[in-house]
Structure 1
Amino acid sequence: MNRLQTALAALLFVNSTAAAETSAWVETPGGDVRLVALPAAADGSVRAMLDIRLHDGWKTYWRNPGGSGIPPSITISGAELVSIGYPAPKRLGDDEAHYVGYDEPVQLPLRLDKAVGTAITATVFLGVCKDICIPVQAELTVDAASEPFANPLEETAIAGAEASLPRGAGDGFKPLSGRWAADGKSVTVRFEAPTEGPLPDVFLSASSSFEFGAATSVRREGDAFVSEVPVLHRPKVFDLEKNPILLTLRAGETSMESPLAID
């Protein structure tokens, strides 16, 4: 959303510390954020999540926001950030200001490792948008060793966040192939998806140096579905074996995510 570059209303920085496994909510005009973490396991691993409670009418971005916007940024101290999980997003905005993200509360599961000491702090930067966009920065701290056993409510919340993530590829819902256009400015994606219900939405994501636009309307070709995805920025040097492009598909309430092999 171009307003992010042109209408920055405020930069909100709040430090939220809690001697518990859930930080206090950091409240902002567009939404509230908190960090939830389960007690560290014996091997130092921690299951956690960033809980984003968007207010009515406000939106935030996916990891590849499309033609405009900024992806969430999460850095961790007190542990090592292994991965950030993202539920399948939605296409938002319009043709002139297309972006990809969420228009309702969303939870991002976090996998942490090598937790040391007791405190874990997440430094978070988000863009939340309505008529204007507000960059929100917050520090959220929890004590992942404050209790020997997981709080059932926190455990249920994190399990629900993990369950909301796209499933892996399987029979009837999987990528088939990807092919660069001759000029490198788009990728043609072929995939299998459920034949009943809404046509799938197609999203691509990769390292931060790639940027993808809005996929064209999905069409049937034989037993497969096909869509073209614009490549808004492609780095001169990249290694798809180490950092593959991910294909995310959303068909109604069902979603799938898997690396996409590209010729």
Structure 2
Amino acid sequence: MKHFRPLVSALTMVLFLIAPAVASASDTTGLSKIDLRPGWRMADGSHMAALHIMLEPGWKTYWRAPGDVGIPPQFDWTGSQNISAVSAHWPTPHVFFEQGMRSVGYKSEVVIPLHMTASQSGVDMTLAGTMQIGICKDICIPANLSFNATLPPTSTRPDPTIAAALTDMPYTAREAGVSNVTCRFEPGADGGLVLHTRIDMPSSGGTEYVVVEAGNPHVWVAEPDSRRDGGALYASTRLLHVDGRSFALDRSELRFTVIGNARAVDIQGCTP
């Protein structure tokens, strides 16, 4: 089983950027290098940058929905200026099994594009904040990354590394040929809900894993049981409020990611 160190011993890396730069992480266990790529200003006035995380051999980090044993990544953009919204784009993840438990994430490295909307177009943006991630090998360690970057409007040439990450995204439901997604709920024995989902779609290759996100950060989702029957993929999972409270779910907020050998598919919402 993994051992989790207390948060007080979390690793901390600080990145201060005015122009493209690299921050060394050679003295940080599990982290090889961290690079906040400043990116470019887009035609609509928004800005595309990225966080490039490189890991030492044998280490991994986690996707936005890491599974039962993973540490979910968290962003805090407090201190940013001239930025009204930041959206992280997560490249296609991989499924790992350790001690019989599933996690979802990345080995070796990951480039996480960050799309920022400006409050005022044509002037500098300041991206300042923190990100907490989990990195794992024989143990799992929460690592705190802090960054402060000035992003000028004059940088308009796309960064090939970021552009490549943007192409390595899960297919949309339409691209993957998803024709119908239905779901139903039933009461769970532990006071939560049991969700049963049917996804009509072609196979994504080999064994298909389904990740369910509730659209509510206070609702815990168990690892689904999934099976394929012809052109339909079935998944069932349990949902519980983290405080043991009752809760309601909006079907349109449910998010399903199917990860197969050939592709991953991102599906938003379902119908009764």
Alignment of 1:41-190 (within 5 A): 41=42, 44-76=45-77, 77-78=80-81, 79-94=83-98, 97-114=101-118, 117-145=124-152, 148-152=154-158, 155-170=159-174, 172-173=177-178, 176-183=181-188, 184-190=192-198
1:41 Cα shift?
4.4
CA shift digits 1:14-38 (9 cap, x unpaired):
3221221x34235131123222232
Distance 2:170 2:204 in 1: 19
CA distance in 2, matches of 1:93, 1:160: 27
* Structure 1 spans left out of the alignment, 5+ residues: none
Greater relative contact order (Cα < 8 A, sep 6+)? 1
SS in 2 for 1:160: helix
Q: After TM superposition, list the pairs within 5 Å mapping 1:25-36 onto structure 2.
A: 25-27=23-25, 28-31=28-31, 32-36=33-37
Partner residue of 1:231 out of 215, 239, 242: 239
Change (3 A) 1:177 1:194: same
Q: Percent identity over the alignment?
A: 27
Partner deviation per Cα, 1:96-137 (whole Å, 9 max, x = no partner):
543322233222221111266443224111111111111111
The one-letter amino acid paired with 1:54 is L
TM-score if structure 1 supplies the norm length? 0.83
The answer as to whether partners of 1:62 and 1:86 remain within 8 angstroms in 2 is yes
Unaligned residue ranges in structure 2 (runs of 5+)? none
Structure 1 or 2: more strand by fraction:
2
- Partner letter of residue 182 of structure 1? P
Distance of 1:112 and 1:148 partners within structure 2: 15
Q: What is the deviation of 1:197?
A: 3.3
How many residues matched?
256
Residues in 2 aligned to 1:65 and 1:233: alpha-carbon distance in whole angstroms? 18
Contact 1:180 1:262 in 2 (8 A): no
CA distance in structure 1 between the aligned counterparts of 2:177 and 2:42, rounded to whole angstroms: 37
Shift of the 248–113 alpha-carbon distance from structure 1 to 2, 3 Å rule, reads same
* Distance in 2 (alpha carbons) for counterparts of 1:12 and 1:197: 38
Structure 2 CA distance for aligned equivalents of residues 132 and 7 of structure 1 = 12
**Within the alignment, does 1:240 sit opposite 2:229 as a pair?**
no
